[in-house]
């Protein structure tokens, strides 16, 4: 196949895969479109079998890690962790919508960082919806906090986001060094989000809310909390001794799974479903299709646009390019495309890509799969968020958060080093 035909085919299939992920016709899983597309780029020669296999081998450990974290998050939900979190937010907000927003920010930031953005979108958002309804507060500020923080607050740890796992693998950093470099950008970006959301939704937050009733709060599931803490410690330990942190995630998931099965709180089939196998297949297939696009000209085209080095202007240029690309082709393909181009400049450039693909998607619905999933969940609760409002908020948040987070990253690189 000629290069021009291969390029047109691979780009067309990537667009088809992304549209399928956004629209999900007839409720089909994303993999229904992505897997045949990946097979087609291999069968037609748009990508060689060797390159497709290499991409699958590169993504394999990342996908295994993601599966373990998804299972861990679902089992924490089965233990009652998110219900207890909702009760804590209702109780400590004392009927104040402004205080509830602070609690949602705290909960969403920690849950996103520790249990991944999927836990915030899928498990925390319904709890926040129910908590706002229980208090009689207008839900919109708190729901927007969930979706924005599922992206922005996923900057802290390698386990917080699939894009982080990819960047972590490419950066050559240890788990602790990654977190040390990202903690300041994480705090700065969350701070910008809070300031802007509080001003943007001032009228909603001024509306009063009654104090919560005297219904008994569920007990905090200490076993789940201890297991999560042990899993985080395992991430640090395995990274220190050179073992893939996926084994720590698997251990944490197994501990909770054995307990849940013994208490008949779940079933083996439910555990397998929580691993989201169709979504994992989608990620793998998407990686192959993106690799075909890269092999057929995109890498060379973007190579002229990616700034080199780790000076502040270079880091800002990389982050802005990543943010723009994330909103054009979604943040996961943008990560797969840009990481190989950023690696020669070092870990700082890789982390700048991460800032762009994690903060940037708050600008448009299509920026990340998490945002699309959040929108479906909101609709299931008979609520709606307008495209204009979403975009206006994004235009206020993204440029400020991205710029200040890059400055914070540059400062961290000067202090911590790589």
One DSSP character per residue, 248-310 reads: HHHHHHHHHHHHHHHTTSS-HHHHHHHT-HHHHHHHHHHHHHHHHHIIIIIHHHHHTTS--SS
Q: Tell me how far apart the alpha carbons of residues 237 and 150 are, in angstroms, rounded to a whole number.
A: 26
The dihedrals phi and psi of 264, each to the nearest 5 degrees, come to 60, 35
Residue with tokens 């667009």: 15
Residue with tokens 């943007």: 200
Q: Answer whether 0.85 is exceeded by the pTM.
A: no
Whether 1 and 46 have beta carbons less than 8 Å apart is answered as yes
Sign of the alpha-carbon torsion through 123, 190, 323, 169: negative
Residue with tokens 């083996």: 268
Q: Tell me how far apart the alpha carbons of residues 364 and 97 are, in angstroms, rounded to a whole number.
A: 26
Q: In tens digits, what is the pLDDT along the chain, a chain of 418 residues?
A: 667 888 888 889 988 988 887 777 777 888 899 999 999 999 998 888 999 998 888 888 878 887 888 888 889 888 888 888 888 888 888 778 899 999 999 999 999 998 888 788 878 888 888 888 888 888 899 999 999 999 999 999 988 888 998 899 899 898 899 999 999 999 999 999 999 999 999 998 887 555 555 555 667 788 988 998 898 888 888 877 878 778 888 999 999 999 999 988 889 999 998 888 888 898 899 889 988 888 887 777 777 788 888 899 999 999 999 999 998 878 888 898 899 899 999 999 999 999 999 999 999 877 887 887 787 778 767 677 777 899 999 999 999 999 999 999 999 999 987 7
């Amino acid at each position: 196949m000629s290069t021009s035909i291969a390029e047109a085919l691979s780009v067309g299939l990537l667009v088809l895969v992304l549209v399928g992920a956004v629209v999900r016709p007839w409720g089909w899983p994303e993999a229904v479109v992505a897997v045949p597309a990946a097979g087609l780029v291999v069968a037609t020669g748009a990508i060689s079998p060797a390159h497709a296999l290499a991409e699958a081998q590169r993504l394999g450990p990342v996908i295994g890690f993601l599966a373990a974290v998804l299972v861990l998050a679902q089992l924490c939900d089965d233990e009652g962790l998110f219900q207890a979190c909702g009760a804590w937010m209702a109780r400590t907000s004392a009927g104040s919508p402004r205080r509830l927003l602070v609690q949602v920010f705290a909960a969403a930031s920690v849950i996103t960082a520790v249990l991944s953005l999927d836990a915030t979108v899928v498990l925390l958002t319904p709890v926040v919806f129910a908590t706002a309804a229980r208090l009689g507060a207008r839900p919109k500020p708190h729901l927007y906090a969930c979706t924005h923080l599922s992206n922005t607050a996923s900057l802290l740890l390698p386990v917080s986001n699939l894009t982080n796992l990819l960047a972590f693998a490419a950066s050559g950093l240890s788990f602790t060094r990654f977190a040390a470099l990202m903690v300041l950008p994480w705090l700065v970006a969350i701070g910008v989000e809070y300031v802007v959301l509080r001003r943007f939704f001032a009228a909603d937050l001024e509306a009063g809310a009654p104090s919560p009733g005297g219904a008994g709060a569920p007990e905090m599931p200490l076993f789940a909390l201890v297991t999560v803490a042990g899993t985080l410690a395992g991430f640090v330990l395995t990274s220190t001794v050179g073992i893939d942190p996926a084994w720590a995630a698997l251990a944490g998931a197994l501990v909770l799974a054995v307990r849940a099965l013994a208490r008949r709180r779940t079933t083996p089939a439910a555990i397998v479903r929580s691993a989201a196998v169709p979504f994992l297949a989608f990620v793998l297939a998407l990686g192959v299709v993106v690799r075909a696009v890269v092999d057929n000209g995109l890498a060379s085209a973007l190579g002229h646009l990616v700034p080199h080095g780790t000076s502040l202007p270079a880091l800002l240029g990389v982050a802005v390019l990543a943010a723009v690309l994330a909103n054009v082709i979604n943040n996961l393909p943008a990560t797969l495309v840009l990481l190989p181009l950023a690696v020669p400049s070092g870990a700082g450039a890789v982390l700048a890509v991460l800032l762009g693909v994690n903060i940037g998607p708050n600008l448009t619905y299509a920026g990340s799969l998490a945002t699309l999933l959040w929108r479906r969940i909101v609709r299931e609760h008979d609520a709606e968020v307008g495209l204009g409002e979403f975009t206006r908020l994004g235009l206020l948040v993204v440029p400020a958060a991205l710029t200040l987070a890059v400055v914070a990253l540059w400062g961290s690189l000067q202090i911590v080093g790589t």
